[in-house]
A = this chain, B = another copy of it.
Amino acid sequence: MHLAVSLNIAAADGQDVLDFGQISAFVRNLEAAGVDMVIISDSLTSGEPSTSPFEATTLLAALATVTEKIGLVASASTLAHQPYNLARRFASLDIISHGRVGWNATLRQSPLEAANFSRPAGIPNDDFRRRAEEFIGIVQGLWRGWDADALLFDKAGGRFHDARKMHVLDHKGEFFAVRGPLNIARSPQDMPVLAMSGLAGADLDFAAGVADVIAIEEPSPEGARATCDDLKKRVLTAGRTPDALKVLTTVFAPDLTVARLETWLSAESCDGLIFAFPADLSAINGFTDRIVPELRRRNSDRSAYYADTTLRAHLGLGDGGAK
């Protein structure tokens, strides 16, 4: 059973902003408890004044230097970024973290976000969906830009490779034209983990074909089981093995008691759980005090698990890498 924590770093008006010391102490605590990955949110979620202490990808790079095992996933929307930049930044994070990085692609557009990217009216919904799918295809295509034999040897982490085995993508689509190649060293996972959340019904078939992790929200283990089964069927239809996608159910950590945790852990409603947090130190401290010791007890021997060096490997995902 996989465990993840999703941390909303944007504090609401009047709330104290988390500092790097607090966030890194929390993430190290999660790592010690055997949590597979932490997912950093990074979006405007409402019209209320709110403040992030950090932008998610720069925060992940800093967290990578103070942790060793835990997976590090940053959210980033397809509206706010260029696919070439996003692919390049995550490939760089994958090198800095020694293969522990993932991208959480958020597939909803927010009007407040659009207003910061020269799109005051946003993008019509159908266009937005086709654009997001094209975007994700480009990112994965750029990540696949290295031949499998491009890596010559790994001399004490030097990871020398042959730059001639890097390929142009030469994508020309409806919304983007991206030549490539990525112009960055081959990363340890080849393909950083692709997570998706906040999916609408119309996104599910696409997501089942390309995602490594999908986060769902269901109030009960039974509902989660049904949604999970539906997604796994779509994964098969997309020509992948069911294990190529991990479906994790989001539970909201401030409401969590040890008894409720027990219900969820016993139900095995799918591949695992995501504990979702607001940027609120009291919620974090409560989780650390009450729930983390229970997780640590259950995960007391994670050594074999963590022997896998990359996030992709320790989630039991296929290599997804260079074809």
User: Which positions in A face B, CB cutoff 8 Å?
Assistant: 10-11, 13-14, 16-17, 19-21, 44, 49-55, 57-62, 64-66, 80-82, 84-85, 88-89, 91-93, 95-96, 112, 115-120, 157-161, 163-164, 166, 175-180, 183-185
Instruction: Decide: A163 and B54 in contact? CB cutoff 8 A.
Output: no
Work out how many copies of this chain go into the complex: 2
Instruction: Decide: B80 and A85 in contact? CB cutoff 8 A.
Output: yes
Set of chain B residues within 8 Å of A159, measured between Cβ atoms: 17, 19
Query: Which one of B11, B93, B116, B166 lies within 8 Å of A180 (CB-CB)?
Result: B116
Set of chain B residues within 8 Å of A89, measured between Cβ atoms: 55, 57-58
A-B contact pairs, 7 of them (CB 8 A): A16-B160, A20-B96, A44-B183, A49-B163, A57-B61, A116-B179, A118-B178
Q: Known contacts A19-B157, A163-B51; is A93 also within 8 Å of B183 by CB?
A: no
CA distance A150 to B51 in the complex (A): 12
Q: Known contacts A51-B166, A92-B54; is A84 also within 8 Å of B17 by CB?
A: no
Set of chain B residues within 8 Å of A85, measured between Cβ atoms: 55, 80-81
Instruction: Decide: A166 and B117 in contact? CB cutoff 8 A.
Output: no
Instruction: Decide: B120 and A161 in contact? CB cutoff 8 A.
Output: no
Set of chain B residues within 8 Å of A84, measured between Cβ atoms: 80, 116-117
Q: Known contacts A19-B157, A58-B89; is A82 also within 8 Å of B117 by CB?
A: yes
A179 nearest CB neighbor, chain B only: B115
Set of chain B residues within 8 Å of A50, measured between Cβ atoms: 163, 183
Query: Which one of B92, B118, B157 lies within 8 Å of A55 (CB-CB)?
Result: B92
A88 → chain B closest CB, angstroms: 5
Most buried by B among A14, A116, A176: A116
Q: Known contacts A84-B116, A96-B58; is A17 also within 8 Å of B49 by CB?
A: no
Q: Nearest 6 CB-CB pairs, A to B? A: A61-B61, A55-B92, A115-B179, A84-B116, A49-B163, A58-B61
CA distance A13 to B163 in the complex (A): 6
Instruction: Decide: A53 and B185 in contact? CB cutoff 8 A.
Output: yes
Set of chain B residues within 8 Å of A19, measured between Cβ atoms: 157-159
Instruction: Decide: A55 and B184 in contact? CB cutoff 8 A.
Output: yes
Set of chain B residues within 8 Å of A14, measured between Cβ atoms: 163
